[in-house]
Amino acid sequence: MAHVAKLPAKMLAVAISQPGGPRVLKAEKRDLPELGAGEILIRVHAAGVNRPDVQQRKGAYPAPPGASDLPGLEVSGEVAARGEGAARFRIGDAVCALTPGGGYAEYVRVHESNALPMPAGFTFTEAAAVPETFFTVWHNVFERGALKAGETLLVHGGSSGIGTTAIQLASAFGAYVIATAGSEDKCAACLKLGADRAINYKDEDFVAAVKDATDGKGANVILDMVGGDYVGRNYQAAAVDGRIVQIATQGGAVASADFSKLMVKRLTHTGSTLRPRTTEFKAGIAAALEAQVWPLLATRRVAPVMDMIFPLKEAWRAHERMEEGEHIGKIVLDVG
């Protein structure tokens, strides 16, 4: 390991002791990760909590080959060591990073291309709430969904970490934004973040509401993490030449839909997962974010919405909070 500050032999980490409920998350001592070429070791100050962490804890979303078995897909902290050839950051630089796993720990390794300078004026807890949702939204809404200024975005789960990010970014880039959420409080939060219309899906049919808000035209891009019976309803709510981007299937991975709508409206239904993608692919998103989104973070035109912060050892409480579904924005672990 080249270019090393003084490092401890062991670190505190939170591991999944066995598949199950939040209490299977247990604190333990681990060896520090070994660095490969181009990698940096980050002394973690904060780690974001995301839905895939919950799925992994339940045994439903294994870590990709070569990744840490520890949960945690995003962190902020300071560069503590550099692997061979890693030259982008200096020891002590404040960074945030997307990781393929291992974030629930005092140290994590990541390829330097998947790390970004900490946004100006951000705290470590705020910075840890950025990578996973911003990488996901940038790729799915702006690259796969090709959202343009003047178009309409429908984002389901508007008060989630992904939703709050999508609302802000789409609004900042000149789209008309419609969000769905499950309570009046959550709808109010969506409007405050820049949504033009918020639909309480428990009281209102989102298909009719979207048609009403767009003079019958429908949404040009739909970001969906629900799946299930939303698939067919998204086809109804979409505009001609609309793009539907699937990023999760919390309402079920199997659906029946009227595919004639797909043909008549010339719809595109695509989807993606981020975690298994290559380091190079994620580096491309990182570069786009630094160029296009980091300036918006520096001026706070866009910022992560913070829900609650828990100490690392109480990661199980963070998972309980996420599964209760009452959160608005991001749940973060304080590691530093």
Q: Are residues 260 and 288 in the same domain?
A: no
Q: Which domain holds residue 265?
A: 145-271
The pLDDT value recorded for residue 95 is: 98
Q: Is residue 140 part of a domain?
A: no
Residue percentage of the chain with pLDDT more than 90? 97
pLDDT in tens, 266-301: 999 999 999 999 999 999 999 999 999 999 999 999
Q: Is residue 87 part of a domain?
A: yes
CATH number, residue 217: 3.40.50.720
Confidence of residue 111 (pLDDT cuts 50, 70, 90): very high
Contacts of 36 (CB under 8 A, 6+ apart): 83, 84, 109
Residue 119: strand, helix, or coil: coil
pLDDT in tens, 34-88: 999 999 999 999 999 999 999 999 999 999 999 999 999 999 999 999 999 999 9
- β-bridge pairing 306-311 and 330-334: parallel
Q: Are residues 152 and 124 in the same domain?
A: no
pLDDT in tens, 170-201: 999 999 999 999 999 999 999 999 999 999 99
Q: Are residues 257 and 185 in the same domain?
A: yes
Q: Are residues 50 and 153 in the same domain?
A: no
Q: Are residues 154 and 126 in the same domain?
A: no
The pLDDT value recorded for residue 336 is: 80
User: Structure tokens of 111?
Assistant: 């390829």
User: Structure tokens of 320?
Assistant: 């309980």
Q: Are residues 291 and 202 in the same domain?
A: no
Q: Are residues 157 and 123 in the same domain?
A: no
Q: Tell me, rounded to whole angstroms, the distance of Cα 208 from its chain centroid.
A: 28
Q: What is the DSSP string of 228-239?
A: TTHHHHHHHHEE
Q: Are residues 258 and 153 in the same domain?
A: yes
Q: What mean pLDDT is predicted for residues 205-227? A: 98
The pLDDT value recorded for residue 305 is: 95
- In terms of Cβ atoms closer than 10 Å to its own Cβ (0-12, 13-18, 19+), residue 265 is middle
Q: Are residues 112 and 160 in the same domain?
A: no
| C-alpha closest to that of 30 among 109, 111, 107 | 107
Of 246, 271, 296, the residue that ends a domain is: 271
Q: Are residues 42 and 64 in the same domain?
A: yes
The pLDDT value recorded for residue 222 is: 98
Confidence of residue 32 (pLDDT cuts 50, 70, 90): very high
Residue 192's identity, in one-letter code, is K
Q: Is residue 317 part of a domain?
A: yes
CATH number, residue 70: 3.90.180.10
Of 217, 244, 271, the residue that ends a domain is: 271
Residue with tokens 């660095």: 35
> CA distances (Å), 304 to each of 119, 195, 247, 256, in order?
11, 15, 19, 35
Q: Are residues 294 and 329 in the same domain?
A: yes
pLDDT in tens, 99-108: 999 999 999 9
Residue 27: strand, helix, or coil: strand
Q: Is residue 1 part of a domain?
A: no
Q: Is residue 136 part of a domain?
A: no
For the chain, what is the domain count?
2
User: Structure tokens of 164?
Assistant: 């709050």
- β-bridge pairing 238-246 and 268-271: parallel
Q: Is residue 2 part of a domain?
A: no
Residue with tokens 């706070």: 300
Residue percentage of the chain with pLDDT more than 70? 99
Q: Is residue 257 part of a domain?
A: yes
- pTM value is 0.95
The pLDDT value recorded for residue 4 is: 54
Contacts of 40 (CB under 8 A, 6+ apart): 79, 81, 82, 83, 86, 89, 95, 109, 110, 111, 112, 115
Residue 54: strand, helix, or coil: helix
Confidence of residue 6 (pLDDT cuts 50, 70, 90): confident
Q: Are residues 329 and 254 in the same domain?
A: no
The pLDDT value recorded for residue 5 is: 55
The pLDDT value recorded for residue 332 is: 98
